[in-house]
Each structure stands twice: as structure tokens, then as C-alpha cells.
Amino acid sequence: MKISKSLTIKDVAEGLRKNEFSAEEIFDHYQKKIKKENKKFNAYLSTFDMPKGNAGYNIQNELYGVPAAIKDNTLIDGTVCTAGSKILKNYISAYDATVIKKLRSSGASFLGKTNLDEFAMGTSTENSAFGPTKNPHDTSRVPGGSSGGSAAAVAADLAVFALGSDTGGSIRQPASFCGVVGLKPTYGRVSRHGLIAMASSLDQIGPITKNVYDAALVMNSISGHDDFDSTTAKKNVPDHTKNIEKNIKGLKVGVPKEFFREGLSAEVEEKVRSTMSKLESIGCNLVDISIPNFEYALAAYYVIVPSEVSANLSRFDGIRY
């Protein structure tokens, strides 16, 4: 079996359907790549054998045979989960996180656990107890964080897709740094059961993928109400892929004026305005809006998050405040 390109979920599905490779062969392909290349990036903290994610394979399942990377703050039964900290270096997960159960039932396989800033607190994946992760596009640069290992794994094609967690940008920012797609779902869309908590009122698990279609496929699998997480919404899960090719002519897009202020990089502003022009060119209606409380957002974040973090992490170190 020879694979010469970076594979998407759709590519894997087509390859399996056409018998170009088996689920075992595609898994082995990625494990060999990880063994050969991970030392350059330190994207993975641990890797798994095939059986860890492949019980009950069914080719009809949406993610059948698709090899995934999982951020190492998400529990997989019987495996070490460190959250990037030596406090938990010997902790063996006692159960599967709900998202892991859902991915298993969708047919996904698990390649291993990815590096992160310790307890998901950081924006560069330099603050892991197990060493920094490097950006695959330029190893002198950071991959972003805290889900930098997951973003680097996808960008380096050491996984077809990955899961990360996002509290204040920890999926979206490393995805941006690594040139892949990252989505923080609306709070309550995806269960947090089995996620090592950082700030419980803000944490969400979400996909890091190679394109938008793949992100929609993963969201189809991991979304939905969970009796083990009372904050999950009791709403039906739509097929997120259906609207991807939908004509967006006439769509109203709000542009907050507060986003264009002192401190914004000229290069970033140019890219944003270029994207705005593209949206207008395909028929979107751009509308200037204002978010008056925007200036208080960061201050509010740094009140909520440290207080919740101190409470959540006290279970590990015994320090209450």
C-alpha cells in the first residue's frame, strides 16, 4: 500500500470502499509515520495499538477506519491521561469520555494522545511537562495552544483528524497557527464528560481537521445530549454537512467595529478585510455592528477562568486557593 498524499476523512472512506487499503493498513500507515516523524514535532505523548479504537468496525459507520489523534486531557479507558502534567503521569483512565464512546460507535480508530500546555493552560504548547510541540510548517515557531499537539498532528499528516478542547481559544488558535480547521462548538453541543476540566463553564471539546467538510463529519459524531453532562442541550443533532455547499447569497454577516482597534496587526486586518470583500463578492450582506461590552471581555475571562481553574485543580494538589 502506497499513500502519497495527506488524507481527509472522505479520502479514507473512498479508499476503504474501493479496497485500496484496509482499516488495518491505513492505521499502520499512520503509526509508521508517527514513529518516523513525531520526534521532529513532539505532537504525540503516547501511541496506541490498533484494538484501542476499533472494536465493532462497520463500514457503514461515518468514520469507519479513520485514524484520529486525541488531546491528552480526554479519557480513553485503560490508557494514561496526563493533561500535560507529571502530576498525572501514571494516571490510568477508568472509563471512556462520552466523545470517545461516540467516535468508537462511528468507527474511528485512535492513534494516540497529543501534547498540550499543562492542564490546558497556555497558548503555545511550550508549557507541557513533557516538552514543547513544534509547528510542522516551521519548527522554530510554536503551534499555538493549548491543543498544539492535536493541531500539529493534523498539519503534519500524522492523523486524519484530531480532538482538542477549547476554553478561550485552545482549538481555534492552534488551528490557525498550523493552517488547519478548528471549531469550538457552542457550549452544550458536545459533552464534557471525561474531559479533565479547566474552566467548566467555558470548556468544550471540538474537532481539528484538514477541511471544513471533515469538521462537519466529526461534529455529526460527537454532538448531542449526554445524561452524564447536565449542561448538554437536549436538541436533535442535524447533519452538519448539508449546508456546506449551500448558496449563501443574501446571508447577513455582522462585522463588530470593536474588532478593528489599536493593537490590531496591519497584516491581520488586511487579511480580514480581504475575506470581507470575498464574502461581498459572492452576495453576502456585510453589516456594521457594535458589541458595547467587548472591552470587558478579557477582564471577565480572567475573573471566571482562574477561579474555576483553582477549584478544579485543587483535586490534584490539595490547594484550595
The residues assigned a catalytic role are 71, 146, 170
Is there a contact between 107 and 82 (Cβ–Cβ < 8 Å)?
no
Question: How far, in Å, CA of 170 to CA of 179, rounded?
Answer: 14
* Strands of 121-246, DSSP E: 161-166, 181-182, 204-209
DSSP per-residue codes, 31-71: HHHHHHHHHHH--EEEE--GGGG-TT--TTSTTTT-EEEEE
Question: How far, in Å, CA of 38 to CA of 32, rounded?
Answer: 10
Residue-level length of the chain: 321
Question: How far, in Å, CA of 141 to CA of 125, rounded?
Answer: 11
> Which residue, 54, 103, 49, 106, is CA-closest to 75?
103
Q: Could you tell me which residues come within 8 angstroms of residue 255 by beta carbon, excluding any fewer than 6 positions away? A: 276, 286, 287, 288, 289
Which ranges constitute the DSSP H helices of the chain?
9-17, 23-41, 98-105, 148-155, 172-178, 212-222, 266-281, 297-317
Element (H, E) at 109: strand 109-114
